[in-house]
Structure 1
Amino acid sequence: MEEKLCYVCSPYRGDVARNVKYAQELTGRAVRRGLVPITPHLYITQALDDRNPEERALGMEAGLHLLEPCECIMIGGRYGISEGMRYEIERAHKMGKNFSFADCGKLNGKDEGFLREMSRYPDMEERKQEFIHLLSFVERDGVQKLLEWLESTDFYTAPASTKYHGAYAGGLLEHSLNVFRRLVKRCPAADMDTLTIAALLHDVCKIHLYEKTEDGYRHNEQFPIGHGEKSVILILRHMPLTDEEITAISWHMGAFDSRAGAGRSLSQAWEKCPLALHLHLADMEATWFDEKRGPQE
């Protein structure tokens, strides 16, 4: 067994007996393919009343939390794409999950078009334009100067690591956007300019850090001044930062930072600047839940 988690998405409402039988069939198919299936509507509906709008909403939200750690979503289309399935599929698309289709050969035009759109992911240029658009909304002197600097570097094409998450061209850009979405979700009431700066720029330390090899990437550090603190220094060359932004970006590696074992610096940073902890957690969520891992390049 591959031990890859797979979220099973199929209808429940309507002909419940038929749909439960179908969900069981899809779950069995996933197991036989070596996957570890998660089929929330087979068991959450045993504890909550799907006919009650409030309990249905609770069940849907609980199920979507189970989607986060899954590598792929299996979409069972034998009986069409229900409203609940659409919601799950849209969330899976936003999380960047891989799609697996079962019995989708006879969908109507509307459902087929929806799945085609959801299974298409932004290319590098689209992600670049999204990044520029988000950062351009920040009201801070130096933003345009910083964007011009980024354009002169390999930021938009660099990998996020040598062999782990985002170990492919454009991985750093993709990771930065994923961290932004995660951080905004974690801190909905925080200042949007600060969230945008902290999330989108926390890893600029990786600019010109990786060198392409025949079988992947390797480190080629030209400015060995640390990790988070390096990002802070590079940003400050072009744009001012608040103390909160400096602290969050500097400590976004959390306990993985080599400074963390020396005294209480990390604990003090998290105590005085909750954003530092939230940025670290958003970074981990993006790495483990949203991005491809392993030597897939």
Structure 2
Amino acid sequence: MYRNQEGYADPTAGNAIENVLKEQEKHKFMGKNQEILLRPKIYIISNHSGSKTENISMAIKCCQYAIAKGKIPVAPHLLYPRILNDGDPEERKLGIIFGISLMDFCNEVWFFGNTLSSSAKTQLQEAKLRGKPIRYFEWR
């Protein structure tokens, strides 16, 4: 608890000082990492149907490619199928909606693949509606 010059508890001043110190720490972190933090965020779409092992491997490679190009990858299909039951249509739909909501924070959308799954089609339609630049990468 912060105490004033007379030794009395002063929670308002204590909170203000705490907030200033937190802001300084945040800016210290931002300053050191600003170049990385300001990289463009890329929403990654790669097919997520069929062999789970192959799909996960492909999605990871897509993210690695984006990182190598100086971007920050956002790949919801690497996250939500592990949290939600992808076999339950309602939970799968919820995962797609959660993923699409992350698209709003991204600068571009990158699609990797040769065929469009139903969820990839939905995500690409949403990207177009949001006016996001879309890049297509053929994957072998």
TM-score, length-normalised on structure 1?
0.34
Q: What is the deviation of 1:4?
A: 0.7
1:113-192 matches, within 5 Å, as none
Other-structure match for 1:81: 116
Other-structure match for 2:74: 38
Q: Aligned partners of 1:20, 1:12: CA distance in 2, in Å?
A: 8
- Tell which has more relative contact order, 1 or 2 (C-alpha 8 A, sep 6+): 2
Give the letter aligned to residue 74 of structure 1: W
Percent identity of equivalent pairs: 26
The alignment status of 1:49 with 2:85, answered yes or no, reads yes
Question: What is the total number of aligned residue pairs between the two structures?
Answer: 104
Q: What is the deviation of 1:96?
A: 0.6
Give the letter aligned to residue 91 of structure 2: E
Q: Aligned partners of 1:56, 1:11: CA distance in 2, in Å?
A: 14
Give the letter aligned to residue 87 of structure 2: R
Q: Aligned partners of 2:105, 2:95: CA distance in 1, in Å?
A: 17
Q: What is the deviation of 1:77?
A: 1.3
SS at match of 2:87: coil
Q: Aligned partners of 1:67, 1:75: CA distance in 2, in Å?
A: 13
Q: What is the deviation of 1:43?
A: 1.1
Other-structure match for 1:96: 131
1:229-258 CA-partner distances (Å, limit 9, x unpaired): xxxxxxxxxxxxxxxxxxxxxxxxxxxxxx
Q: Aligned partners of 2:137, 2:85: CA distance in 1, in Å?
A: 27
SS at match of 1:60: helix
The alignment status of 1:17 with 2:17, answered yes or no, reads no
SS at match of 2:121: helix
Q: Aligned partners of 2:94, 2:110: CA distance in 1, in Å?
A: 22
1:232-251 matches, within 5 Å, as none
The alignment status of 1:62 with 2:98, answered yes or no, reads yes
Q: What is the deviation of 1:100?
A: 1.6
Give the letter aligned to residue 127 of structure 2: A
Deviating beyond 6 angstroms after TM superposition, the runs of 4 or more aligned structure 1 residues are: none
Q: What is the deviation of 1:6?
A: 0.3
Q: What is the deviation of 1:83?
A: 0.7
In structure 2, runs of 5+ residues without a counterpart are 1-35
Q: Aligned partners of 2:91, 2:49: CA distance in 1, in Å?
A: 14
Q: What is the deviation of 1:34?
A: 0.5
Other-structure match for 2:7: none
Other-structure match for 2:29: none
Q: What is the deviation of 1:3?
A: 1.1
Q: Aligned partners of 2:133, 2:47: CA distance in 1, in Å?
A: 19
